[in-house]
Structure formats: C-alpha cells, structure tokens
A and B are shown apart, each in its own frame.
Chain A
Amino acid sequence: MKRVTGKDQLPIGDLKFCWVIALRAEARPVIKAFDMKIVSNKLLFPVYINSENGHALVISGIGSVRSAAAATYLKTLLKINKYAAWINVGIAGYFKEPIGKIYQALKVLNQDTGESFFPGLRFSKFVSGASLSTVNKPEIIFPDKNLYDMEAAGFCEIAPLFSCNELTYVFKVVSDTPGKTKSLLTKTVITELIEKNMGSLSELVGAIGRLVEDERERLSIPREIVKITEDCHFTVSNTHKLKQVYRKWKTVFPDRSLNDVNYPLTSARALITRLEKELLDEVKNWKLM
C-alpha cells in the first residue's frame, strides 16, 4: 500500500464518503476501487484516504463497539464535514442463498438492546433490501429472516450524529447461510465476495454522492462570508446574523457581490443593515423565482 504523509500534513481535501469496514479483507476491494492510500500504520485504527475523489476509510475490527469507535475516530482525525456520507460495508449471514448477493439494510436491530435503526434512503434500483440483526457472536442458526452481522448497530448508533440518518448506509454481502457455514470463509473468499459487488457499490456511491452534493450546497457558507469574517473581527452574534441576511440577499441578487454594496465592510452591523435595506427596497418588485 502507498503511504500518505504524516497525519499533521494530511491532504484531507473535501471528503464526501466515509467507509467503516470491519475486516481488511472486506476493505481491500473498496480501497482499490477508490484508489485510497494508507495514512499511517501507527494510528489507533488503519485509515485510508483519497483526497482527490473524497473517499476515506477506516478498518474497525470486529464488533459493534469497535465500529462506532472507528467511525468516531475517522470523524475526529479527518474533521469530516457534516454533509459527508457514512457507509458500512461487509459480509453477513443470511437465512437463504444465494451467497454473494448484496443487500441494503433497511432496519438494523441491535439484538442485545432491542434498539432499532433505519439508515439511509432506499435505493431499490440498485440493490435489494433486508432487515439486519447485529449480534455479539457469530450466528449459525439464523432464527429470523434477517441478515446477521456484528457491527452495523454500533455504526448506526453513531454515524447519524456526524451527518444525518439519510446519509448513513449499511450494505451487506451474504457470506454464509444455514447450508454454508462461516468456517469456509477465508480472507480471499471474503475479498472476492465484496469485489464481485463493487459494480453495485459504485452505482450506490454515485446515487449517494448526489445527496451529498445537495447537502453540501445547503450547508455551505458562501466564500464571501468566510473571507469577510476572517478579515474583520465580528462578534459571534453578528457573524451569525450576517450569514443569514447575506444568504437571503444573495438569493435575491445572485449576480451581485459584497464589493457592489459600496459600504464599509468592517462593521458587521452596518453591513447587515445595508443588506436588509436592499431586501426591503426590493419588496415592491418581489419575485418568487
């Protein structure tokens, strides 16, 4: 694996997809497909990124707690934005064949606590859906018609806090069924199971990416505002108010910039008043589009 520079000099860029994966064997095809590089082997959890295409990945190890911890670690280490999508991919047991089929988890049940999670928007065009139970030791009986894994509940409990529930996704590939037990699963087999579904996963990333863009646009702070609040010392309250008024003003006057306002830009209060006045002056000619 190629190595990125030390974590103090991380070329983080605009990370839009955060993968949380239990096993290296599961992660390998994802790392390869999105051309990610390892950040450092000395971190608490192995982390990979590609700042060009916006992908980051953490290998959590097995278990719900580890999955939640690794997601939190990735969020903190790379200062992931609120509009990023969080994706948990891995293998799972299922009550029926075929082995190798990928599912979107529509309901994730923490078997220990009884708590349920309902991650993501449904993508039926690309993938079938199923309920999933997260258990704390490997399931061999499959008592319900659910997928069985050991991480998703922990991941689903924490990831929506970093962005939102609709940008949190769990995809599982069937690896073992009542007829085919886990003991036959080698690292190579696990990698192949994920690898064979990279086509579907890439399509899903495309669809999720459109939601990410939508959220990014909604949450974005206009460059003009970033610059002016960096250049001038405004109070927190005035900065907040300015952001609100500026966004309205920019919606109404999309072709104008603050340079056109012809007002001293060093006083937040004066600028806010000026923008509010321009909005008021526009009321008589108010357009809805």
Chain B
Amino acid sequence: MIETIYIEEEVIDHSTTKRILKNLPRAQIIEISRYQELFNKRHQNFRLQKMNPGLILAKKHDNFVLPVPPGFGMDAQKNFYFSHMFNCLYDCRYCFLQGMYSSAHYVLFVNYEDFFKSISDTIDRYADCSLTFFSGYDCDSLAFEKVSGFAKHALDFFSKTPSVELELRTKSIVTSSLMERDPVKNCIVAFSLSPQKISDILDNKAPSVARRVIALKQLAKGGWSVGLRFDPLIYCSDWENLYSELIADIMEGIDPANLHSVSHGPLRFPKEMHKQIVSLHPDNRLFSFPMEKKGGIISYGPEIEDLMSNFLQTELNKYTTQNKIFRCTV
C-alpha cells in the first residue's frame, strides 16, 4: 500500500495526477519541487527504502524515447524503449534496478502525452524502418496499471499506429485492462518467467509463475500476441529439468500463431552494479556463485551460458520455430 505520495508542484493539477490521487485517497501528499530532491540521492539505502517506498509523481522533460542497447531487441530494424516509471512493485533479487538507483521509491512521470508525442516523432523519423518500442525497461509494464493507467493510454496510442510494435514486459497478472478490449495486434505482452522453484526464491512480491502462465494463456486465447522472456536464466542444480518442465507447461494449449517470440538471456551485471547489489544482499546464494568477470560484465561465464542457451534453444525448438527464438546478448 502506498502511504506517501510526493508530487512535483508542476504536475499537481495534471489530469493523471488527479486521477491517481482519487485512486489513493488515504495516502499522505507531500509537495516537492523536483523528483531529484529525494530520488537517487546519496546516503539513501535501497534495501531499507524498499520496505516501504513512496510514490513520486513527476514530469519528464526530455529523453522520452531512447534506443535500446545493442543485442536487446528482437528482429525489428530499430528498437527503442521508454520509461514512464522508475522502479517496480516487485523485489526480484536479480533485478538490475536495485543496483541502478539508491532509491526504491516509485517515480511515475504523469505527462504521458509527451511520451506519445515523442514516440510519434520517432515513428515519423524512421518511416522506412520496422520499429519496436519496449515498455517496462525501468519498471514492470503492467504491475502498476491499476494506479497508473499507462498501458491503457499506450494501447490507445499504438492501436492507431499498426505499423510499429509495442512490447509490454511484465510479471504481473493484472491483465484485465487488456482482456476488456479487443486485442491490439501490434502489441506483444511479454511475460518474464523462471521455473517456479527458482521464482519462489528470487521473485519476491511477484505473482507465482503458475498464475503468470494462466494469465498469458488467457491473453493468447483472447487473441493477444504473447512473448516469453526467460531472462535472466538462473543456474542451479537440476536447472535442465526445471526449465524443461516450465517450457512444456507454458506451451501446452497455446496457439502457436499467438506466440510472437521467445527470448532468453544469461544472468549478467555491469561490474559496478553487481558490486552495489551484492553489498545490499551479501548473504544471498545467488551472489555467492563463483561468477566470472569479463569486459566489465559479471556473469556465470561462457561455459554455463552456452550450456543453458543451447539447452533452451533445443527445448524451445520442440514447440516453436527458430525464427521466433532470440538470444539476448547484453
């Protein structure tokens, strides 16, 4: 439950702010000048703040749409992402956000219209290219939907721009706002998934994998394009059986036509980010693994990564075609 909402003076009368405040009538409101006053300041403790984060309603001024890092996207010629929100309701132990910011407060940029204007400009600029826009890079695309309503706005916008794709990446089962409308054909609802046994340990506060699988099957049945994201792949004893069972479970009963893509990627962190995350959770077995460091990246190392990647590839080939499977390299 959100107890405190910090609001930038500039957006206090914004329609999105007003709607959100209506949905959270019991929260205490504190006015601020700019969100940087309290977000990501030095001497903040992410781990403690995560126990009771506040919501910051802010205005984003620039960098609405950014190119994704090389190796992140699927098969579109140009891939972009946008971050209408920083931080996530969930607390997954491997999440890079805990090493990215010193604050666990949720920052929601309420000027959605500026994001869509910038997306529109980007579409015009790359009129000859196939484009995919990724939401949920710095947050979960749907977990906060009941409060933010952002996905609804995004779907309204992208339903009118059928030549480009939108990916909503999520672990949420809050799919009612999608199920209540006709499928948006150029929207991919991509679920982040791990075997249940692994998720039980690492995906704190997130819905169970079983419920995520039910949600994605309902969406697929309803005609939505769904994506499967096995990223990061987590190593442990018996990982082959765990991933094999997970994939079989997901694929059972899904119409292949509604499966847009499957991607998988290794567990990896930039060195400084890894250092920060380990300092927050020094006694977690995920970080006790003897990781390898190469080119400023901390990971399981090529031997385990290739082993897991090849295994996933083989398992996925049982159910879908090679052109739908992507290996993330960043």
Contact = CB atoms under 8 A, between A and B. Distances in A.
A287 B285 contact: yes
A224 to B, nearest CB: 15
Interface in A117-153: 118, 121-122, 124, 129, 131
B201 to A, nearest CB: 5
Contacts of B235: 286
B45 A164 contact: yes
B290 interface: yes
A217 to B, nearest CB: 8
Given A248-B287, A288-B198, A164 B237 contact: no
A165 B43 contact: yes
A205 B286 CA distance: 33
A279 B38 contact: no
B126 interface: no
A118 B105 CA distance: 12
A276 interface: yes
Contact of A122 (B41, B52, B285): B52
B285 A121 contact: no
Interface in B35-58: 37-38, 41, 43-45, 47-49, 51-52, 54
B4 A279 contact: no
Given A288-B234, A289-B285, A283 B290 contact: yes
A161 to B, nearest CB: 6
Most A CB contacts (10 A, CB to CB) among B6, B45, B47 go to B45
B174 interface: no
Interface string B7-28: 0000000000000000000001
A288 B285 contact: yes
B109 to A, nearest CB: 19
Most B CB contacts (10 A, CB to CB) among A160, A167, A215, A288 go to A288
Contact of A280 (B28, B44, B234, B290): B290
B44 A286 contact: no
Contacts, number: 100
A251 B37 contact: no
Interface residues of A, number: 36
Contacts of A288: 198, 201-202, 234, 236, 285-286
B28 A218 contact: no
Nearest to A250: B283
B283 A247 contact: yes
A25 interface: no
B32 A121 contact: no
B323 interface: no
A190 to B, nearest CB: 27
B282 interface: yes
A164 B37 contact: no
B284 interface: yes
Nearest to B282: A247
A118 B38 contact: yes
B241 interface: no
Most A CB contacts (10 A, CB to CB) among B31, B43, B235 go to B43
B287 A214 contact: no
Nearest to B275: A244
B47 A124 contact: no
A285 interface: yes
Interface in A248-289: 248-252, 276, 279-280, 283-289
Contacts of A228: none
Given A248-B288, A283-B290, A215 B202 contact: no
B32 A107 contact: yes
B30 interface: yes
Contacts of A69: none
A282 to B, nearest CB: 8
Contacts of A164: 43-45, 48
A215 B52 CA distance: 15
A287 B32 contact: no
Given A164-B48, A251-B283, A279-B289, 13 more contacts: A106-B4, A107-B30, A116-B38, A164-B43, A164-B45, A165-B44, A247-B282, A248-B290, A251-B285, A251-B288, A276-B290, A286-B235, A287-B237
For the complex of A and B, list the 6 residue pairs with the smallest distance between their C-beta atoms, beginning with the closest. A166-B48, A248-B288, A164-B45, A160-B43, A118-B38, A251-B288
Interface of A: 106-107, 116, 118, 121-122, 124, 129, 131, 160-161, 164-167, 211, 214-215, 217-218, 247-252, 276, 279-280, 283-289
